[in-house]
């Protein structure tokens, strides 16, 4: 895929803003504490760390944590992802070239093919891969020992991982959406690195619209920076931040265009539900997985959308948020 200059810039800024160690990593206190213990114990035992599974919605810091793990363990990091591993052979090539103590980060691990998954079970447990040579009746498996390594798997959907794979991780950390105050800390650090002047109220305004997600907070900060540059504003206050973000269609609750189109479809096309997830996804022209892993978790957390056995429903707060009269059956 050819990326545009702005995507390339986006990635460059994102990597510049990534915290490099656990102390700089804001929030997620429990995961940070548990992970720090896992790493410390492995240093004391002089062994590679247990395999780590990180789950949670996109942009909450899974890749960042994998990089921090490698830095804290002073180990090289190899990065790949489930969709990039279509054949067991793709995985065998990666595994057989790992060096001792290396950290292997597999993003979207739930999207790996089944044969690759089975190869990974054995590699994780016994540090071995069986390379199949030949085809049909003449095929033979040649076992190849691997140096001990640490797998860091990331998934937006821990529930989709087969049990045997989940069980082979020594530590599982679930990342939660960030509180507004935590996002303010993320933004303060980024503003300092980008050499931007923002007032406290300005930080609060951007943080409140960041969907509980550091990646979005950093992205909005850059949009606000552009707006301030064009409007020749030296220090970004809350009204500058609000004006800029209104222009980019990020509302005061942090809902973006996808979030709002999910709620709007749910209410205007299906009377507020219940409606099945895949029907809802078709109505907004998105992949089911995008609606389920990107839009839904935040809408549920904000109390705007409910999951019921019969399908998705819009809550009274969703009708209110879109400026619509709450139907009688939802009005308390």
User: Residues marked as binding for DNA?
Assistant: 307, 312
User: Residues marked as binding for ATP?
Assistant: 17-18, 59, 62-64, 125-127, 168, 178, 215
The single residue of 32, 48, 107, 219 carrying the catalytic annotation is 107
- Give CA separation, 258 vs 44, 211, 213, 285, in Å: 47, 12, 15, 10
CB nearer to ligand ADP: pick between 204 and 318: 204
Phi, psi of 305 (to 5 degrees): -135, 140
The least CB distance from residue 133 to ligand ADP, in Å, is 36
Nearest position to ligand ADP, beta carbon: 61
CB nearer to ligand ADP: pick between 80 and 264: 80
Rg, Å, the chain Cα set: 23
CB nearer to ligand ADP: pick between 27 and 297: 27
The least CB distance from residue 51 to ligand ADP, in Å, is 17
Phi, psi of 311 (to 5 degrees): 135, -170
Structure tokens at 29: 């206190």
| Distance of alpha carbon 256 from alpha carbon 39, whole angstroms | 37
Is 156 labeled as catalytic in the residue annotation? yes
Query: How many CB atoms are closer than 10 A to CB 36?
Result: 14
Contact positions toward ligand ADP, by CB under 6 A?
14, 17-19, 25-28, 58-64, 154, 186, 214-215, 218
The single residue of 32, 209, 211, 215 carrying the catalytic annotation is 215
CB proximity list for 5: less than 8 A, separation 6 or greater: none
Cβ-contact 287, 278 below 8 angstroms: no
The least CB distance from residue 107 to ligand ADP, in Å, is 7
The single residue of 48, 150, 155, 156 carrying the catalytic annotation is 156
Is 213 labeled as catalytic in the residue annotation? no
- Give CA separation, 267 vs 78, 180, 254, 307, 325, in Å: 45, 28, 19, 14, 11
The single residue of 62, 111, 225, 260 carrying the catalytic annotation is 62
The least CB distance from residue 170 to ligand ADP, in Å, is 20
What does DSSP assign to residue 253? T
Is 20 labeled as catalytic in the residue annotation? no
Active-site annotation, residues:
62-63, 107, 156, 215
């Amino acid at each position: 895929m050819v990326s545009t200059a702005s995507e390339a810039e986006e990635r460059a800024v994102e990597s510049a803003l990534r915290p490099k160690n656990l102390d700089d990593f804001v929030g997620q206190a429990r995961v940070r504490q548990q992970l720090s213990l896992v790493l410390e114990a492995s240093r004391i035992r002089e062994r590679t760390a247990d395999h780590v599974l990180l789950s949670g919605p996109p942009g909450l810091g899974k890749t960042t944590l994998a990089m921090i793990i490698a830095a804290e363990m002073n180990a090289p990091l190899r990065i790949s992802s489930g969709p990039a591993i279509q054949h067991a052979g793709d995985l065998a090539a990666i595994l057989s070239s790992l060096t001792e103590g290396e950290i292997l980060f597999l993003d979207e691990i739930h999207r790996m093919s089944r044969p690759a998954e089975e190869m990974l079970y054995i590699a994780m447990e016994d540090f071995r891969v069986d390379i199949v040579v030949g085809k049909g009746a003449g095929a033979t498996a040649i076992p190849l020992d691997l140096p001990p390594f640490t797998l860091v798997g990331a998934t937006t959907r821990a529930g989709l991982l087969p049990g045997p794979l989940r069980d082979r991780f020594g530590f599982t950390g679930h990342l939660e959406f960030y509180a507004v105050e935590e996002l303010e800390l993320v933004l303060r650090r980024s503003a300092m690195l980008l050499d931007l002047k923002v007032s406290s109220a300005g930080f609060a305004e951007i943080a409140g619209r960041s969907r509980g997600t550091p990646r979005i907070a950093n992205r909005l900060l850059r949009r606000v920076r552009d707006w301030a540059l064009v409007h020749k504003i030296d220090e970004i206050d809350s009204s500058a931040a609000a004006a800029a973000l209104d222009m980019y269609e990020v509302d005061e609750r942090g809902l973006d265009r996808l979030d709002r189109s999910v709620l709007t479809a749910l209410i205007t096309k299906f009377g507020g539900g219940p409606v099945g997830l895949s029907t809802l996804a078709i109505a907004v022209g998105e992949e089911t997985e995008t609606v389920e892993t990107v839009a839904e978790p935040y809408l549920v957390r904000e109390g705007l959308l409910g999951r019921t056995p019969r399908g998705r429903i819009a809550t009274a707060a969703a009708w209110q948020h879109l400026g619509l009269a709450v139907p009688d059956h939802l009005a308390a």
